[in-house]
Chains A and B, each alone.
Chain A
Amino acid sequence: MHKIIVRRCAGLVTALAMVGAIAAANSALAGATLDKVKQAGGFSCGVPTGIPGFAQPNDKGVYSGFDVDICKAVSAAIFGDPGKVKYVPLTAVQRFTALQSGEVDILSNNTTWTLTRDTELGFNFAPVVFYDGQGFMVPKKLGVKSAKELNGATICVAPGTTSELNLADYFRANKMDYKPVVIEKVDEIYAAFFAGRCDVMTGDATGLAAQRIGRATHPDDYVVLPERISKEPLAPVVRHGDEQWNDIVTWGVYALIQAEESGITQANVDDKLKSEDPGIKRMLGVTPGLGKALGLDERWAYNEIKAVGNYGEIFERSLGEGSPLNLARGLNNLWTKGGLLYAIPLR
């Protein structure tokens, strides 16, 4: 009997010791997302559950779209392989909890950059990858021409988004009334809108256009009103407190924009390795330095462009003229072409 008790106590002590050791390891590991990611051989990326053009699974469960390509670019920069990403579909309500907890390492989820999110929620935002604004979509047969005519309307909106807040602000500012219908799943809320549950659907205007084309049985029956009631700079998000990881995502995005500005494409990136331009040589790692500064392989930017192309190519593939959405670049053009995209010097 004595022995049994001793043995049991020993078992428990071991268990406690193991637990203690894990706790000690915890502080040693703190902050090193890159180490963790390299060790695990991949990272997880939070994407929307389904916005045509941005992120949508096909019938095999494979995700593709603009948001997905951003994750692929980061994966290529780290591993030289765009396929080391685990995509975690997240609703707007779930995404921040998932990023805070560490369930995902990057959020590429059409997330608007705001002050509170940057501070109180404990996040850092990478550069804006898409400039959008909130709009309203209505059935044409309603005959509404302007958002100012929406007094008393029932409005579908995804909960936990800036759209939900802007909507409340807009109606308060204009002294109008509305009745919100909030449903968490994107699939469900658009199904409800197209079934006529709401008079109006609101959200990022590009998202509205994408859903109109991607989901409505008769896209021409719906129209997006001209007003933009907010600024929606959409950017990838990482956790606060890991500067290195933040740098990698930040400069990963800048490299895509700079590549377009420098005329480097997926097709010609191999030729560009022989370029004499010192800027291009530095960026593509022919002249070493930048990769080491980020803690990555010197070929990081080369690998990105080789895997997904430059910003312009990513845009065209998923959202632009090469896609069913057929969106114009608009604000999402290079600063040299009248847009807002302006990469910080890669040197």
Chain B
Amino acid sequence: MTTDEATLTSARARPALWRDAKIRGIAYQVVFVAAVAGFIALIVHNAIANIGRQNIATGFGFLHREAAFGIGESLIEYSPADTYARALLVGLTNTLHVAALGIVLATILGTLMGLARLSSNWLVAKLARVYVEIFRNIPLALQLFFWWGLLDKMAPGPRQAWQILPDVFVSNRGIIYPVPLSNPAYKWVVAALGIGVVAAIGLHRWAKRCQAATGRQFPTGWVALALIIGLPAAVFLGFGAPARLDVPVLKGFNFSGGDAVSPEFAALLIGLVVYTGTFICEIVRAGILAVNWGQSEAAMALGLRSSQRMRLVVLPQALRVIVPPLTSQYLGLTKASSLAVIIGFPDLVSVANTTMNQTGQAIEGITVIMAVYLSLSLAISLAMNVYNRAVALVER
């Protein structure tokens, strides 16, 4: 008895230092942090020593100097007289442009293909499967080269351009299409469109409340469609339908008039969309399959039509499975847009590379690239998390 008690008391007394889990944990962390910090310090020390010895300029002062190089395409005003900061901003907007468009189009393509893969129509399902199996298993870089080679090097010159639709031309200068000549009426049409959309949303809310209160259903879809399309159309006709198109015509070196998408941009966008679309297709398909078949059966038993079943029962549940992997596809697409540099589209990486070379400040250039991409992924993650919370299961 006494011995037992003695053992107990000694066990309750402080154990040897290295046996205390807490102290051991602290010790491990101190050592680990010291090792990492030492490693980083060493790298920084070496870089500073090497840069100092060679007398390389440092700091971000170069951002305010004249860039003096031209950039092929830009969404914002830019000339070689602008600063490096402005040039980098042009690169950033180009990256955002292609990434945003890519995300939207890839989502549409992926969702359509995902639904097609689940279609009861054998041919549709098989074609969708062929699309996925082909484009998912080939490196994106190779696909970009392929589209680029097709649009940039194999397409004919402007004078022999392929006319794929009336007044829409494909040549090695890009895809050229007519745009409406600007007219004051368009401002009102756009305004009408905005009003139509707002009205449709209001109608949808009202119809929902109405259904909840009285059980009466209101044909929201058709009326909303009428509002969104009809209102602008009415305004357009009210102005006498001023539909003068700015049609591309061959002049000098190139087409003039109309609007154009450069082959580099088109190749990058097509490559990103087709490649990412395959992954989104599989995510959508898996998400829908993850919804218990009993849910669909229950919906059928309630007499819901197949479109209603999809919209009201299956999709809301599938989205919970779909959104997290979809987020990482969006991040992947944004990062992959940096491959623009291999096909000569002036995205952020491409402009930053040129800047690094003209100023010789590689570390600063890489810092800019990393900071931008990290903030972009943070922004996308945040946005998708907000959305995910909206669709997530509300648990009691």
Do A and B interact directly, with beta carbons closer than 8 Å? yes
- The chain A residues found within 8 Å of chain B, CB to CB, are 1-2, 5, 8-9, 12, 15-16, 19, 22-23, 26-27, 30-31, 92-97, 100-102, 116-117, 119-123, 142, 152-154, 159-160, 164-165, 167-169, 171-172, 178-185, 188-189, 191-192, 195-197, 199, 239-241
Interface size on B, residues (CB 8 A): 55
B80 touches A168 (CB 8 A): yes
* Bound-state Cα–Cα, A101 to B360, Å: 11
A152 touches B252 (CB 8 A): yes
Say whether B117 faces chain A, with CB atoms less than 8 Å apart: no
Mark the stretch among B41-49, B124-132, B277-285 that contacts chain A: B41-49
B70 touches A19 (CB 8 A): no
**Majority secondary structure of chain A interface residues (helix, strand, loop or mixed):** helix
* Bound-state Cα–Cα, A49 to B71, Å: 23
A192 touches B344 (CB 8 A): yes
**B48-85 interface mask toward A, CB cutoff 8 Å, 1 = contact, 0 = none?**
01110111110000000000111110000001110000
**Most chain B beta-carbon neighbours within 10 Å: one of A9, A95, A97:** A97
Residues of A within 8 A of B46 (CB): 23, 26
* Bound-state Cα–Cα, A23 to B50, Å: 12
Extra contacts, 13 of them, besides A100-B360, A169-B80, A197-B152 (Cβ < 8 A), are A9-B31, A12-B34, A94-B357, A96-B356, A121-B57, A171-B70, A178-B70, A184-B342, A184-B353, A197-B172, A199-B253, A199-B254, A241-B54
With A19-B39, A159-B357 known as contacts, the answer to whether A182 contacts B152 (CB < 8 A) is: no
Q: How far is the CB of A301 from chain B (nearest CB, A)?
A: 28
B356 touches A97 (CB 8 A): yes
B354 touches A160 (CB 8 A): yes
**Majority secondary structure of chain B interface residues (helix, strand, loop or mixed):** helix
* Bound-state Cα–Cα, A188 to B19, Å: 64
Find the B residue at minimum CB distance from A166: B68
Q: How far is the CB of B101 from chain A (nearest CB, A)?
A: 21
A183 touches B343 (CB 8 A): yes
Find the B residue at minimum CB distance from A142: B253
Q: How far is the CB of B18 from chain A (nearest CB, A)?
A: 5
Contact of B263 among A15, A171, A180, A197 (CB under 8 A): A197
Say whether B173 faces chain A, with CB atoms less than 8 Å apart: yes
Q: How far is the CB of A35 from chain B (nearest CB, A)?
A: 15
A169 touches B51 (CB 8 A): no
With A19-B38, A19-B39, A100-B360 known as contacts, the answer to whether A1 contacts B253 (CB < 8 A) is: no
A153 touches B354 (CB 8 A): no
A1 touches B172 (CB 8 A): no
Residues of B within 8 A of A15 (CB): 35
* Bound-state Cα–Cα, A140 to B375, Å: 49
B357 touches A172 (CB 8 A): no
Find the B residue at minimum CB distance from A199: B253
A182 touches B346 (CB 8 A): yes
Of residues 125 to 144 in B, which have CB atoms within 8 Å of A's CB atoms? none
Q: How far is the CB of B275 from chain A (nearest CB, A)?
A: 20
Say whether B308 faces chain A, with CB atoms less than 8 Å apart: no
B152 touches A164 (CB 8 A): no
* Bound-state Cα–Cα, A182 to B262, Å: 12
**B228-252 interface mask toward A, CB cutoff 8 Å, 1 = contact, 0 = none?**
0000000000000000000000001
Residues of A within 8 A of B49 (CB): 26-27, 30
* Bound-state Cα–Cα, A167 to B156, Å: 26
Of residues 111 to 167 in B, which have CB atoms within 8 Å of A's CB atoms? 152-154, 156-157
Residues of A within 8 A of B357 (CB): 92-97, 159-160
A and B contact pairs by CB, cutoff 8 A, 10 listed: A9-B31, A93-B356, A97-B356, A100-B56, A120-B360, A122-B56, A160-B353, A164-B70, A192-B153, A239-B54
Find the B residue at minimum CB distance from A92: B357
Contact of B68 among A27, A95, A122, A165 (CB under 8 A): A165
Q: How far is the CB of B345 from chain A (nearest CB, A)?
A: 9
**Most chain B beta-carbon neighbours within 10 Å: one of A5, A119, A164, A182:** A182
B359 touches A100 (CB 8 A): no
A122 touches B70 (CB 8 A): no
Residues of A within 8 A of B51 (CB): 100, 122
* Bound-state Cα–Cα, A195 to B160, Å: 13
Residues of B within 8 A of A197 (CB): 152-153, 172-173, 263
* Bound-state Cα–Cα, A213 to B39, Å: 51
Say whether B24 faces chain A, with CB atoms less than 8 Å apart: yes
Q: How far is the CB of B241 from chain A (nearest CB, A)?
A: 33
B254 touches A122 (CB 8 A): no
Residues of B within 8 A of A240 (CB): 53-56
Residues of B within 8 A of A169 (CB): 68, 80
Say whether B105 faces chain A, with CB atoms less than 8 Å apart: no
Say whether B291 faces chain A, with CB atoms less than 8 Å apart: no
Residues of B within 8 A of A26 (CB): 45-46, 49
* Bound-state Cα–Cα, A165 to B84, Å: 13
Find the A residue at minimum CB distance from B344: A183
A188 touches B70 (CB 8 A): no
